Amino acid sequence: MTTPELLPISLVAHQAFCPRRAWLEAAGESTDTHQVQVGVQAHTPADDPTGSRSRRYRAVDVVSHDLGVYGRCDTVELDDDAAMTVVEHKATPVRRRPEVTEPMRIQVALQARALADMGYPVAGQAVYFTNHRVRVDITLSPADVAAAREMVAATARTLDAEQAPPPLENDRRCSRCSHISVCLPDERPLAPVTRRIVVADPDTQVLHLTTPGSRAYVERGRIEVSKSGEKLGSFPIERVQGLVVHGNVDLSSGLIREVLWRSLSVVWCTSTGRVTGWARPAQGPNGGPRLLQHVASHNGRIDLARQFVTAKIANQATLLRRHGNAPDTVTRLRELQRAALDALSLTDLFGIEGEAAASYFAQFLTMFRPKVVEAEQLTFSVRTRRPARDPINAALNLCYGLLTADILRAVVACGLDPHAGFLHSSGRNKPALALDLVEEFRAAVADSVVITAFNNGELRVRDFTTVLGTTRISANGRKALIAGYERRVTGTFRHPIFGYEVSWRRAMEIQARLVLGVIDGTQPRYEGIKIR
Ligand code: SF4
């Protein structure tokens, strides 16, 4: 990372809390946890300069070229002698004591010194704890100022380093850190995790727009969907974590702008599930690691490719063992799973993956209830992508498209480039990394959704039409399958490595972040998700 000429004071305070936290901030990683929202709310009055009164100024910008920092004081108070007191506003989660920490001392020390360097007399400094409504005055010693100066230098060293600082190990600071869900300090060793991880608002949903000829637009903070003057739906935009547009649905430019402004992405698919494009915000995190990703993709990372294929085959074997009737195939898949771990080249891996796929899909129909197969006259023997030759293939195509859309969002969210992959070739102009990660989720998520939808009667053969050898899914069938897919990805499972309950959608982002860790050097190795 390149160190800017002047460092933000807040970044130096993050360095004092944890060097990795400073790195993540500088790399553009932002989170939207409850903790962050509380902090933002607590600062809202202090961020408004129009709230200034005589002797009490708000949102005062300060700079010190001597220290090499700039920042903003929440409040600056004037006493009778026109000397100033810097007051920093801090939100603390309820029940914690209003105590001044080392990063806070560093922060107010730098603010006060910057104010003094600008020629204003400084009388003191304080922290105002907004939740407790308690103000704590701070007396600074020359040692505090020296420590603040040293912390500025340490921040510059952190940013100058070629590699991200490693996460802290078993450190209590992590449970108080708003960046734990993107830093993943507990997941790095690829072992069971006991600490609870707070993720960005877990109640938000991906909105699928499926009605042909409809139009979606934003109005008064809601996404409105209508067709021919009839309103089809209305959703609060803050509850949406991404948009997937299926087929012929129009989005207003206002909606696209609003979604991107909120750092969300939009994925467009055909009505059969093929991903045709996506839009992502101009600003994204981890520009440095993205460059390393391209180098790694060019040089090859067989260790990553092996894991994608191994996990894919393992999950095919588990799904077939659970729901099918083909023990010999399961045994062969387990052998191929082990062989993939030892593959010496991508060519070998493709050979193993191809044999596994042929064996698995040859027995795919055994996972459907015999009564359903008979009543619906279901047939399936081989995967036919484009065009789909039967209802099961058409349903699989749609679910793989939904899965690709989700993985694309996860890859983009952590700043990686969907096009620079390790198993799929980047030269084929496809989103290679997204397709790499899709592999380990295919059986556990998409295949499972298709099997469940037919077995439960949510999907019937009458939901499909076949014309000139191409099978297409009807609008009702698509809605049923998308609903089943959403239930699956928002539902939780016990993570096979970390042992905690996690939604499949969150698991996709974790896997993308583990790939990021391998690329930026903070993750010793990658392991795909293998369901048991
Ligand atoms: S989660 Fe822990 S290691 Fe990661 S940035 Fe926060 S304090 Fe540092």
Give the model confidence (pLDDT) of 97-155 as tens digits.
788 999 999 999 999 999 999 999 999 999 999 888 889 999 999 999 999 999 999 99
Is any atom of ligand 1 closer than 6 Å to the C-beta of 179?
yes
Give CA–CA dist 303/528, Å, rounded. 11
Is any atom of ligand 1 closer than 6 Å to the C-beta of 167?
yes
pLDDT by residue for the chain (532 residues), tens only, comes to: 766 789 999 999 999 999 999 999 999 988 765 555 555 555 666 666 666 667 788 899 999 999 999 999 999 998 888 789 999 998 876 556 788 999 999 999 999 999 999 999 999 999 999 888 889 999 999 999 999 999 999 999 999 988 889 999 989 899 888 899 899 998 888 888 876 655 555 556 889 998 889 999 999 889 999 998 899 999 999 888 889 999 899 999 999 999 999 988 899 988 888 888 999 888 888 888 899 999 999 999 999 999 999 999 999 999 999 998 999 999 999 999 999 999 999 999 999 999 999 999 999 999 999 998 888 888 887 888 778 889 999 999 999 999 999 999 999 989 999 999 999 887 777 889 999 999 999 999 999 999 999 999 899 988 888 888 888 898 899 999 999 999 999 999 999 999 999 999 999 999 999 999 999 988 889 999 999 8
In the numeric block, the tokens 């994204």 are attached to: 284
Is any atom of ligand 1 closer than 6 Å to the C-beta of 319?
no
In angstroms, what is the span from residue 21 Cα to ligand 1's centroid? 6
Q: Of all atoms in ligand 1, which is nearest to the CA of residue 21?
A: 5
Is any atom of ligand 1 closer than 6 Å to the C-beta of 185?
yes
Q: Of all atoms in ligand 1, which is nearest to the CA of residue 166?
A: 3
In angstroms, what is the span from residue 485 Cα to ligand 1's centroid? 33
Residue nearest ligand 1's atom 2 by CA:
174
Q: pTM of this prediction?
A: 0.88
> For a substitution probing ligand 1, which of 11, 14, 18 has the most ligand atoms within 8 Å of its CB?
18
> For a substitution probing ligand 1, which of 174, 175, 522 has the most ligand atoms within 8 Å of its CB?
174
Give CA–CA dist 298/242, Å, rounded. 30
Give CA–CA dist 4/69, Å, rounded. 10
Using alpha carbons, select from 527, 525, 523 the residue that is nearest to residue 167. 523
Give CA–CA dist 152/222, Å, rounded. 43
Is any atom of ligand 1 closer than 6 Å to the C-beta of 173?
yes
Give CA–CA dist 435/240, Å, rounded. 24
Q: Which residues contact 468 (CB under 8 A, 6 or more apart)?
A: none
Q: Which residues contact 268 (CB under 8 A, 6 or more apart)?
A: 244, 245, 275, 276, 277, 278
Helices 504-520 & 475-490, crossing angle to 10 degrees? 60
Is any atom of ligand 1 closer than 6 Å to the C-beta of 174?
yes
Is any atom of ligand 1 closer than 6 Å to the C-beta of 177?
yes
> For a substitution probing ligand 1, which of 31, 183, 520 has the most ligand atoms within 8 Å of its CB?
183
Is any atom of ligand 1 closer than 6 Å to the C-beta of 16?
no
> For a substitution probing ligand 1, which of 155, 168, 172, 193 has the most ligand atoms within 8 Å of its CB?
168
Is any atom of ligand 1 closer than 6 Å to the C-beta of 21?
yes
Q: Of all atoms in ligand 1, which is nearest to the CA of residue 171?
A: 2
In angstroms, what is the span from residue 25 Cα to ligand 1's centroid? 11
DSSP per residue over 254-276, as a string? Answer: HHHHHHHHTT--EEEE-TTS-EE
What is the token pair recorded at 339? 């062989």
Give the model confidence (pLDDT) of 266-322 as tens digits.
999 888 888 889 998 888 888 888 999 999 999 999 999 999 999 999 999 999 999
Give the model confidence (pLDDT) of 387-419 as tens digits.
888 999 999 999 999 999 999 999 998 999 999
In angstroms, what is the span from residue 514 Cα to ligand 1's centroid? 15
Beta bridge partner(s), residue 244: 208, 267
Residue nearest ligand 1's atom 5 by CA:
21
